Structure formats: C-alpha cells, structure tokens
Chains A and B, each alone.
Chain A
C-alpha cells in the first residue's frame, strides 16, 4: 500500500502542477465502476491518472456546474467500514450511513441518487484528495478539527457525533485505561485517534507501545490475530468492526471516552456555492426529521399547512443558489430523512445497533440542531 500512497501524494503534487494550467477540457472520470472495485488501492490506482485532467479542481468555482456536466458526484468514502460505507456483498453496491449522504447530495444536485462515483479513500489519502479537488465531497467519517478545517477543506455540519474508545479482549480483564500499562495498542495512522491516544494515555502516565498501520483492514486484522492487546478508534467504528471479527463476543469496548469526534462531510476550498449545498444538505435532512417529513409522506407534505414544512419542501421557491426549489423533496424521497438514514444503517436491527444518544434531535435529548431553512 505504501507505493499506492506514494503515488497518491505524488499525483497530488502533479495535479497541483497541472491543474494550474487551467484550460483543460471538461473530462468525466472514466472507469468509475466503483461498485465492483472492492479495494481502495485498485480504484485509486486505476483512476488517479484522471485526476490530473479533472477540470475546475479547486478555486475556479463552478463545481456545481462541473458535477452536472459530468453527470456524477465524486464522493470520497471510507469503503471498508460496515454501517458507514462498505461494499454490500449481496447487492454489490456501496451501502452505509456516509454512502447515503452521498446519495442524498446526488439526488439534490442531479436528481438521481445513483449518480455517485464512490471513491474509497484511506485515512492518509483523504486530505490530499480534498486539497487537489479530486473528490467533490468527502463523506468519510472524518473528524472536524481546527487543522483540517483550515488545511483540507470546509466542514459541513456534523452528521455523526462520536467519541473515541478502546476495544480489548474480555479475557484480558481490562477494566480501565490504567490496566493497559505495557500493552501494545493498534491504531490506524493518519487519524485523530492516533493523536488522542498519545494525548490521553500520555496524560494518564500509561506506558504503551503503539502499532500503527496505514489501512483499516490491516489494523483490525492485526488486532484480531492478537498482534495487539487493544485497538482504538471511534466507538462507532469499533462497534461496526467488532461484527466482523472472528469472535465478536470476546471483545469489549471500554467505557472511557478518549475524545470528541464530530464526523461530517468536507467540501474542497474555494467554492462557497458548492459548500452551501453540502452544508444545507445536512441541515435539510435533519430538519426533515424534525418536521416528520419521511420518504413515505414527503409527496403529501409538500402541501402542508405548516409554512416551515412547506418552505423546506419548496413552497417559497429557490432558496439555496444553484438548487431547484424542490431539492429537499428529491433527497428525502430518495434516501429518507436523517432518522431514516440512521435507522437503516446504524440503528436497532442493524449489526451495529447504535443508540441515537447525542445523535438524536435536540427535541429528543440529542444535540442535532439544524439552522432554520428560510
């Protein structure tokens, strides 16, 4: 994978060099049969040469026009995280919480939730993918931090409030962080969890050995093979991956919260119009849940007596520049509101079975609070 990463970053530099020439013809990305490519490396390697041809990557604006011209939204996703974005073996399609936000965006912009080119991106490659404008949007369980917000791109509102946890084998009888003294802990490189681990265990005076890997699969398979005593990541990710371990019941997640991990979509710098679209996509889906607008009743709700609901569904005409008045209707009928997306991918009845907790609406005791759409 190292070569792959080198090539990504090398291409990022190349892309920076080339894109400034400015006058490329609009090119769509061929080979975008993302759904069959199971490994990030394969997809990226095949497609990365195209990124140097991608027009409008970055600051010239007009990404909305570019996406419409291309007829496809390029969405950077994780690709190997069940519940968030992973290749569903049965359908052969990218499925998950993050993947559905990509679809919502495609429905809003292109009117077709399937017009998404999913780009599996690993933790190290996602920053450059945004900086070079290779992806239109990164919806890849990415933590919002000050450094990333100023270096990578613009963070849209958080779609998932997470916290970092540590998973250990129950046989080891580890009850708290102090019990981890002397342990080897697996962590994926290029993540905020890598930094938080050093911060928290360093502050607690716990002596540990980090074992870092570049890929998510490697990190967890090393843990599963007992090469590490513990593995750390966002709790949602730990829960999600636990379902894929050899014996899921033999692992527990410590109650400690190591950090705040607000995960959300990121748009490249330099195009406010496009950033607004991404931002309001999230707000609109949350507000749709708040107003009780679901994929089933959205067509009836268009004629709602409640002016706020009617406005959300297009009664007041165009509000977000570049989007039709009824864009929220298109999104909600395609993927449902925030709650529906959550329940379908992470809620009870799914392998991860995560409670809403912080991710409930503010009216239900959570902290999801959408700015008013007006």
Chain B
C-alpha cells in the first residue's frame, strides 16, 4: 500500500485477499483447521485400528484382581487387590522416590554449584570433574553401574554388621526402626513445650535485634531450654520413650527394622547424583548472574563469606535459579521411570506389568502418561508459586 493510494480511497480500495488484517485471521483459521484436522485423522485412525485389533480404551480392568505381587509397597498390598490398587502402589513409590530425590539432589546440587566457584583450586576441580562425568554419561548406564556395585556387596549370610544394629548386604541396608513406647506421649508433650519456649525466644530475639535492643543471648538460652527438655524429658518419663526395632536375621532375609532395598538405593543414588550435576550448574549460573559489585559491597560491609552467600548472593541468585531448577525437578521425576532397570516397582514398572497382564497397552500407557503429566504439572505449579514469591522479594 502506498501513501498515494491510501490517500485516494482509504478503505474501499484494498481487496480482502490483500488486506493484512483479513489475511492474519485467515492464516490462523487455516492453521487451526489443519492441526485440528490432523489430530482428528490420527484420533479416528487410532480408534478404528484399535477396534479392528480388538483393543479397547476402557479402563474397566482397574477394578479387576491384579494377581501379581509387588516387592516394595508403602501401603498394604497383596495380589488379591485390584489393578487400581497396584497402580496406586506404583504411584506412591514414584512419589516417594521423587520427593526424596528432589530434596537430596537440591542439597547436593547447591553444594556442587558453590564448590565449582570455590577459591579452593582442588575443590573447584573435583566439583567440575563430577559435573562433567555425571551429566555426560547416560543415566541408565549409571543405574546399571550402581546396581552392579550393590550386588557385589556380601550376600545375606555374610552380612556386614555395623555398630548400632545396622546391617548391610547386597539386598540393601537394614537399620533399626524407631517405635514409640508407652512413655512416648508424655515425653512428646515435654519436648513440645520446650520447642514452644525455644521458638518464642528466637522470635523475641529477632524483634529486639530489629529494634536495635540487646538480645541477652535469648536464642542461645532458648536452644539450651529445648535441649534440656529433650534430654531431661527422656529420663523424667521413666523408661525409654522410643524403642528401636532392630533388624533380625532370619533364614533368608532380615526382618523388622527399616530396609533400604538395593533397588531403591540404586535408583535414588543414581537419580540424585545425576540430577545434582545439572542442579550444580544451574546454581553456579545463578550465582554468577549476581553482579560482582554485590559481593564486593557485602565484603566492604564486613560480612563473612558465608553471610555474603546467604544474605546477599543467594536471594538474588534464586530468581535466576528457580525456573531452570523446576525443569530439573521435572526431569528427576520423569527419569525415575528407569526404575524398571533396577527392579524397583515404580509407577511405570507396575503400569507395564498391568499392560502386559491385561493385554491393554493403549489405555495403560495413556493412563501412565496422564499420571506423569499430572505429577509434573503439580510440581510446576508449586515451583511457579515459589518463583513468584521470590520475585516479589526482589527490589
């Protein structure tokens, strides 16, 4: 359109097929129709083909008896339960390893990220080597490797007996499980009271500090009171409030206590050290995104190295760290589907067994994908909320 022509006839002159406003809408409609059409064609084909192959979309089998057993289950489960219950066991195992993995990977990742920036040459190099080794080898290979190492531990009959009733063998780590005894309740009350006093002391100390008043070591006093409540209460109630269920060796296995199975350990360790390498890089990037002047200013104020990190660098680095950190969390949860490689009954493994035993792969896979999607979306939601909160803090 030239200026001259628009001067002569501002609107009537441009035909619709050359009008950018019309063309934009047409283009969008065409794209939507094309994409929608493609999805519809694929969808109808799927439905048709499944009908021909005698496959159904139905999830009715979830109510049927599962019939297979699951080695590790946080909730009671036996083969007479339904497929739905079996799936729930898998889901809980996935969530358990996901939550634990995220916590541990974050801790390790932060340490690695900080170490990569350490003034200590050796520490820096070790952290760098760790990151490069872990993120440049496939996780599946690492899992097989870790599991193979665990299998090299002594068999059950030659179990390592560690002090404190801890036993280690190729099937896992067996530790005493704390069990509340009858005197647990009064002890808990005393400890609770101590905790309330300690928290109150810390809060008051904080307020006084903010107001520039002397704190009279209130924090220390609060902590001491709490410690006194825990220890004093233990003896005051008469009889140990917490008893320990020590693992016992039976004919084949250990019973009692808590067990970290080799499968679980291999998967957890694999996921944590793999993801921590990525998180370490995210943390390093976040720290380096904080301007040098901030650190110099903190030093000029006389803050120690730790204080500088904690009070000046991290709060500003977090806004850079959190979005990519969310991706790493999602990766960790999704990567936990490799559990099948080490025999840990997670969501995917139970799902695959279900798919096989029922002969219904399509609905089961759709169910599995939907479940992972839901887990990831919820994780994202919380991380986004957190992200928004730390963004507000920024000035």
Identify the A interface with B (CB < 8 A): 1-3, 5-6, 9-10, 12-13, 16-21, 58-59, 123-124, 127-128, 131-132, 147-148, 150-152, 172, 181-184, 189-190, 194-195, 197-199, 202, 209-214, 218, 222, 225-227, 229, 269-270
CA A184 to CA B78, docked complex, whole Å: 16
Do B68 and A12 touch across chains, with their CB atoms under 8 A apart?
no
CA A35 to CA B60, docked complex, whole Å: 41
Question: A16, A195, A211: which contacts B50 (Cβ < 8 A)?
Answer: A16
CA A1 to CA B352, docked complex, whole Å: 12
Do B156 and A190 touch across chains, with their CB atoms under 8 A apart?
no
Question: B42, B48, B361: which contacts A12 (Cβ < 8 A)?
Answer: B361
Do A13 and B357 touch across chains, with their CB atoms under 8 A apart?
no
CA A202 to CA B255, docked complex, whole Å: 19
Do A197 and B69 touch across chains, with their CB atoms under 8 A apart?
yes
Q: Is the C-beta of B124 less than 8 angstroms from some C-beta in chain A?
A: no
Q: Which residues of B contact A148 (CB under 8 A)?
A: 359
A124 touching B352 in the complex, CB below 8 Å, given contacts A17-B42, A202-B79, A218-B343: yes
In B224-257, the 8 Å CB interface with A consists of: 250-253, 255
Question: B53, B255, B340: which contacts A269 (Cβ < 8 A)?
Answer: B53
CA A194 to CA B253, docked complex, whole Å: 21
Given contacts A195-B357, A218-B343, 19 further A-B contacts (CB under 8 A): A2-B339, A5-B340, A13-B46, A13-B365, A21-B45, A148-B359, A151-B359, A183-B253, A189-B340, A189-B353, A189-B356, A190-B352, A194-B68, A195-B67, A210-B70, A210-B71, A211-B343, A222-B343, A225-B170
Q: Which residues of A contact B71 (CB under 8 A)?
A: 209-212
Question: B78, B263, B359: which contacts A202 (Cβ < 8 A)?
Answer: B78
What would 15 A/B residue contacts be, using CB atoms closer than 8 Å? A2-B338, A13-B365, A16-B53, A17-B46, A19-B49, A20-B52, A151-B358, A151-B360, A182-B251, A183-B252, A184-B253, A189-B349, A195-B67, A202-B69, A214-B349
Do A10 and B53 touch across chains, with their CB atoms under 8 A apart?
no
Which are the 5 A-B pairs with shortest beta-carbon distances? Answer: A151-B359, A20-B45, A198-B79, A190-B356, A20-B49
Closest-by-CB residue of A relative to B71 is: A210
Identify the B interface with A (CB < 8 A): 42, 45-46, 48-50, 52-55, 67-71, 78-80, 140, 151-152, 155-156, 170-171, 250-253, 255, 262-263, 337-341, 343, 345, 348-349, 352-353, 355-362, 365
Q: Which residues of A contact B365 (CB under 8 A)?
A: 9-10, 13
Cβ distance A251 to chain B, nearest Cβ, rounded Å:
15
CA A218 to CA B79, docked complex, whole Å: 23
CA A199 to CA B345, docked complex, whole Å: 19
CA A94 to CA B232, docked complex, whole Å: 73
Cβ distance B35 to chain A, nearest Cβ, rounded Å:
16
Q: Which residues of A contact B345 (CB under 8 A)?
A: 212
Q: Which residues of B contact A18 (CB under 8 A)?
A: 45
Do B349 and A9 touch across chains, with their CB atoms under 8 A apart?
no
Do B361 and A13 touch across chains, with their CB atoms under 8 A apart?
yes
CA A198 to CA B79, docked complex, whole Å: 6
Do B52 and A58 touch across chains, with their CB atoms under 8 A apart?
yes
Closest-by-CB residue of B relative to A16 is: B49
A147 touching B46 in the complex, CB below 8 Å, given contacts A10-B365, A182-B250: no
Do A210 and B356 touch across chains, with their CB atoms under 8 A apart?
no
Do B341 and A1 touch across chains, with their CB atoms under 8 A apart?
yes
CA A184 to CA B355, docked complex, whole Å: 24
Do A2 and B70 touch across chains, with their CB atoms under 8 A apart?
no
Cβ distance A372 to chain B, nearest Cβ, rounded Å:
31
Do A226 and B46 touch across chains, with their CB atoms under 8 A apart?
no
Closest-by-CB residue of B relative to A224 is: B151
Closest-by-CB residue of A relative to B338 is: A2
Q: Which residues of A contact B45 (CB under 8 A)?
A: 16-18, 20-21
Q: Which residues of A contact B361 (CB under 8 A)?
A: 9, 12-13, 127-128, 131
Do B252 and A184 touch across chains, with their CB atoms under 8 A apart?
yes
B140, B152, B359: which has the most chain A beta carbons within 10 Å?
A: B359
Do B49 and A17 touch across chains, with their CB atoms under 8 A apart?
yes
Do A13 and B362 touch across chains, with their CB atoms under 8 A apart?
yes
A222 touching B151 in the complex, CB below 8 Å, given contacts A127-B361, A210-B69, A269-B54: yes
Cβ distance B241 to chain A, nearest Cβ, rounded Å:
31
Q: Which residues of B contact A269 (CB under 8 A)?
A: 53-54
Cβ distance B159 to chain A, nearest Cβ, rounded Å:
12
CA A198 to CA B52, docked complex, whole Å: 33
Do A3 and B140 touch across chains, with their CB atoms under 8 A apart?
yes
Do A152 and B355 touch across chains, with their CB atoms under 8 A apart?
no
Closest-by-CB residue of B relative to A132 is: B53
Do A209 and B151 touch across chains, with their CB atoms under 8 A apart?
no
CA A319 to CA B255, docked complex, whole Å: 64
Closest-by-CB residue of B relative to A201 is: B69
Q: Which residues of A contact B54 (CB under 8 A)?
A: 150-151, 269
A123, A214, A227: which has the most chain B beta carbons within 10 Å?
A: A227
Q: Which residues of A contact B349 (CB under 8 A)?
A: 2, 189, 212, 214
Q: Which residues of A contact B252 (CB under 8 A)?
A: 172, 182-184, 229
A58 touching B341 in the complex, CB below 8 Å, given contacts A151-B359, A197-B69: no
CA A148 to CA B140, docked complex, whole Å: 31
Closest-by-CB residue of B relative to A225 is: B151
CA A158 to CA B78, docked complex, whole Å: 32
